[in-house]
Amino acid sequence: MPEKSLKIAILNLMPLKQATEADFLRIFADSPIPVAIDWLKIKNHVSKNTSQAYLDAVYKNWEDVHNQSYDGLIITGAPVELLEYESVTYWEELQEIMDWAREHVPARLYICWAAQAALYHFYTIPKYPLARKMFGIFKHQVNDPSVPLVSGFDSEFYVPHSRHTEIRKEDILKVPELTLLTESLESGVHIVTARDGRDIFITGHSEYAPDTLHTEYHRDLNKGLPIERPVNYYIGDDPEKGIAFQWREDAIKLYTNWLIHYVA
């Protein structure tokens, strides 16, 4: 008999919904455990980049599934990081979802802005604006290789980041319940865990496709926005030479470890 699928809910707050879907489907395609995904959306938020017809066909509202049983929940980043949390139009609903997940979903993973938002909601950890965008591929270190989430990782590994704000190490270390599992000298806090890994907060984007930062870079250039070339991203720092896809294997390890050791 085929192995039973893990049931994962993904609250997709990213503007390009289908690109984010493809990111996670690609990551989970390499999982040794089958995964069934329910795509969730915020009820009253109008997407500027995805048709309502597509959302109605593919996505569910949280209130329609909150009585269902899920093995894991992922909440993605969102392009609202420069707003105060309370100014985000769906902040109240997001808090309800995070509180519900702590009571009803065994494993919870928060990415980029969602990681910042969850750390603020549960622990009052502040975020800080950056002088310039954290944009590129950065080297990270594992602080405790015995933790199953980083099983198989080298002592140094690479992760994409694309954000205008940060959380700081000193604020994390003030909270006894929080563990700083991985970090970077350049991009700072990366993975924070709580509740024996049932809550995982990740500031980077290991799930990103090879060309995501390239697309973001040229999008901002075309808009005339102040944007620097993504760090450690192009081969020889030359866009003409292509992209150095340095994070793929570690991305697969990260999500496989999450599924095996925390979700399953």
Question: In CATH, what number is assigned to the domain containing residue 213?
Answer: 3.40.50.880
Residue 102 lies in a domain: yes
Domain region containing 228:
6-263
Is 1 inside any structural domain?
Answer: no
In a domain, 228, yes or no: yes
Residue-level pLDDT, tens digit, the chain, 264 residues: 346 899 999 999 999 999 999 999 999 998 899 999 999 999 877 777 788 899 999 999 998 998 999 999 999 999 999 999 999 999 999 999 999 999 999 999 999 999 999 999 999 999 999 999 999 999 999 999 999 999 999 989 999 999 999 999 999 999 999 999 999 999 999 999 999 999 999 999 999 999 999 999 999 999 998 889 999 999 999 999 999 999 999 999 999 999 999 999
Largest CA distance in the chain: 56
Residue 251 lies in a domain: yes
String of DSSP letters for 7-26: EEEEE--SSSHHHHHHHHHH
Q: Is 75 helix (H, G, I), strand (E, B) or coil?
A: strand
Indicate the number of domains in the chain. Answer: 1
Q: Is 112 a catalytic residue?
A: yes
Distances in Å between the Cα of 91 and the Cα atoms of 43, 80, 174, 199, 224 are 12, 11, 25, 19, 30
Q: Is 161 among the residues known to form the active site?
A: no
pLDDT computed for residue 3 by the predictor? 66
- Dist. CA 200–CA 202, nearest whole Å: 7
User: Per DSSP, what are the bridge partners of residue 38?
Assistant: 9
Q: Is residue 157 part of a domain?
A: yes
Structure pTM?
0.96
- Residue 103: active-site member: no
201 Cβ contact partners less than 8 Å away, ≥ 6 residues apart: 110, 115, 116, 118, 119, 191, 192, 193, 194
- pLDDT, residue 237, reads 93
Contact present, 116 and 167 (Cβ < 8 Å): yes
Residues 6+ apart with CB under 8 A from 10: 24, 37, 38, 39, 40, 73, 74, 75, 76
CA 207 from chain center: how many Å?
8
Which residue among the candidates 81, 112, 140, 161 is catalytic per the annotation? 112
